Structure 1
């Protein structure tokens, strides 16, 4: 597993601009939104999922999105999905719950986890994600996240993620 050191090395090798912010540990989207309120860019949340066939998915959406889990499988080309177990997340991505990020794909074997990025985030000038730990945030372009995923051998899926109507 290459971890954060490998991530920073790849950002430098690929000349990807980013901004780094250190902060207290955050474990929920609400905590993250509070800590990161002054950081410019789109805030995210991540869903680690397993489908009925045993495939794993890492889906990154805007933090305020209420993902429609019934409609999601059709949008990503899967069948019924449920939340993955922490032990599978740690085994496949090398991270613990609370630190989920599409950048954890640096630790995943290509094909072991399908990485999905919401279409709006993929097009955003600045997206805020964890650098494999929940005590920091990296801000970088959505296109740069896709470049990193491809560099690591993944084939990210960019899709409009279905959301539920606001309450």
Structure 2
């Protein structure tokens, strides 16, 4: 995504649903039903944190790095939300949560459990976790932010919400809770 690209911040859901995935539209429906207000930016596919720099600039808010991890048996999953500038260290997180072996879940698992494809994982995928297979892990540094931004299960848009709305109203509705972790993430 070009760094000089100007993005337009819109309030709420898109007026037209053409070109939008069912999963993305389901996120808007869910947030609207809960009465959670949000702003939206549409953009070309954003696959990396570098792609998200222009989005952060448009919103003046932090886009979270979201990593979908699994235990060695692929029977339980973790969605880790952390600041984009931190380096992810598997050993550091494993020690913090007391899980011996963590690896990245594959795209098929992400689709089945979170309803997201690689590059679009976000906290909004928890609305699809009906079997309660995912534990949400949140780096404590994110809790200091007034707003957080994440993809609505499709990486052609990004939403900006109040942090407290994500971690209270949204999580309560999805019947999930967060576990805070303190990651140094030093290279």
Q: Is the structural similarity TM-score above 0.5?
A: yes
- Tell me, in whole angstroms, the C-alpha distance in 2 between the residues paired with 1:79 and 1:19: 39
The CA deviation string for residues 12-43 of structure 1, in whole angstroms up to 9 with x for no partner, is 23322211111111111111224443321112
Structure 2, unaligned runs of 5 or more: 1-21
User: Partner residue of 2:18?
Assistant: none
- Which structure's CA Rg is the greater one? 2
CA, structure 1 residues 33+159, in 2 after alignment: closer, same or farther (shift >3 Å)?
same
User: Partner residue of 2:147?
Assistant: 126
Residue 163 of structure 1 aligns to a residue whose secondary structure is coil
CA RMSD of aligned residues (A): 1.9
User: Partner residue of 1:151?
Assistant: 173
Structure 1, unaligned runs of 5 or more: none
4+ residue runs over 4 A deviation: none
User: Partner residue of 1:29?
Assistant: 49
CA, structure 1 residues 157+73, in 2 after alignment: closer, same or farther (shift >3 Å)?
same
Give the conservation status (yes or no) of the 8 Å contact 1:44–1:128: yes
- Tell me, in whole angstroms, the C-alpha distance in 2 between the residues paired with 1:5 and 1:87: 21
- Tell me, in whole angstroms, the C-alpha distance in 2 between the residues paired with 1:77 and 1:122: 22
User: Partner residue of 1:48?
Assistant: 68
Between 138-147 and 55-64, the greater mean CA deviation after superposition: 138-147
